[in-house]
Amino acid sequence: MSKGLPRHIVITGASAGLGQALALAYAAPGVVLGLVGRDAARLKACASACQARGAQVETVLTDVRDAATMQAALERFDDTFPIDLLIANAGVASTLASAKDWEELERTAAIVDTNFYGAMHAVLPVVARMRPRRHGQIALVSSIAALRGMAISPAYCASKAALKAYGDSVRPLLARDGVRLSIVLPGFVKTAMSDVFPGDKPFLWSADKAARHIQRKLAACRSEIAFPNLLAFGMLLLTLLPATLADAILGKLSYLPREER
C-alpha cells in the first residue's frame, strides 16, 4: 500500500449490504478495519471474509443509536489505531406501503435516530480526535433521495437530506483543520434494503460496484460522490422544476403510494 492510502478504517453498518461491500473493498494486508454492526452472525462473517483478505479486524456489536457505546468503542479503537477514514454508512429505510399508510412519530423517530443521529454518534467522537491531529477523512453515506423528497419515503428522505446538509455545513470548517469530508449520494444499490423498495429502481448497481466506486472517489478526495450520474442529474433537474410538476413526475415513476383498490 502507498503511504497516502488509509490504513485504519472504521465502517458503520458493516454487517450487510453496502457496508459489508465497503469492508471487503478496503480489506488488505496492512489495513486495520473497525467494523460496527448490530447483527452478530453477519458481522462475524464479514470480519472473517476481511481477515481472509489479509486485514486485521476489530468488531463492535452495537446499534449506532447508542451514543455512549459508540463513543467508547471508537475512542478505544482510535487509541490504538488512529483513524484515517470513517465511513458513516449505517442506515435504515422506511416506505409507505399504500396511500393509507403513514409514518407516525415513533416510526419517523426511529429512522431519523439511525440515519442522522446514528451518523453523528460516529462522526463527532472521531472528528474530536482527527482535528488535533490535522489528519483524517470522513465519509457520510447519504442518498440521492437527499436531493429531492419523495412521497413514498418521507422520513428516509428527510434523514438523508439532514445528513447532506450537515456535511455541506461542516466540510469547510473541517478543511481548516486538515480533515476532509465527503458526502456519498448513492442511487439504487442491490441490497436487502433495496429489495423491499416498492417503486422502480432505475440504474441499479451491485453493492460491490458501488463500493469500488466510492473507494475510488474517496481516494480522489471528492467532496460529493453521487451515482449513477444519470439518476443524480435527474434528481437535480427535479429541484429546478415547479414543485407540482416534480411531484407529478415522481408519481408517474411509482414514487407516490398507490390508492388501495
pLDDT attached to residue 259: 67
The per-residue pLDDT for range 200-244, each reduced to its tens digit, is 778 899 999 999 999 999 999 999 999 999 999 999 999 999 999
The per-residue pLDDT for range 248-260, each reduced to its tens digit, is 999 888 777 776 5
The share of the chain scoring above pLDDT 70, in percent, equals: 97
The per-residue pLDDT for range 46-73, each reduced to its tens digit, is 999 999 999 999 999 999 999 999 999 9
Residue 199 has pLDDT above 80, yes or no: no
pTM for this model (two decimals): 0.93
156 catalytic, yes or no?
yes
In this structure, how many other beta carbons lie within 10 angstroms of the beta carbon of residue 242? 8
List CB contacts of 14: < 8 A, sequence separation 6 or more. Answer: 20, 22, 23, 33, 35, 36, 37, 43, 46, 89
| 3-state secondary structure at position 95 | coil
- Compute the 3-state secondary structure of the chain and give helix, strand, coil in percent, each to the nearest 5: 50, 15, 35
- Specify the range with the lowest mean pLDDT, choosing from 114-128, 140-154, 193-207: 193-207
pLDDT attached to residue 190: 92
The CATH class of 8-252 is alpha beta
pLDDT attached to residue 3: 46
- Chain-centre distance for alpha carbon 237: 23
Residue 2 has pLDDT above 50, yes or no: no
Q: How confident is residue 104, by pLDDT bands cut at 50, 70 and 90? A: very high
Mean pLDDT, rounded, for 119-126:
98
Take residue 82 and report the three cell numbers written for it: 488512529
Q: How confident is residue 162, by pLDDT bands cut at 50, 70 and 90? A: very high
Residue 261 has pLDDT above 60, yes or no: no
The domain ranges of the chain are: 8-252
Residue 1 has pLDDT above 60, yes or no: no
The per-residue pLDDT for range 18-44, each reduced to its tens digit, is 999 999 999 999 999 999 999 999 999
Cα–Cα distance, 83 to 113 (Å, whole number): 24
Q: How confident is residue 92, by pLDDT bands cut at 50, 70 and 90? A: very high
Q: State the chain's mean pLDDT as an integer.
A: 94
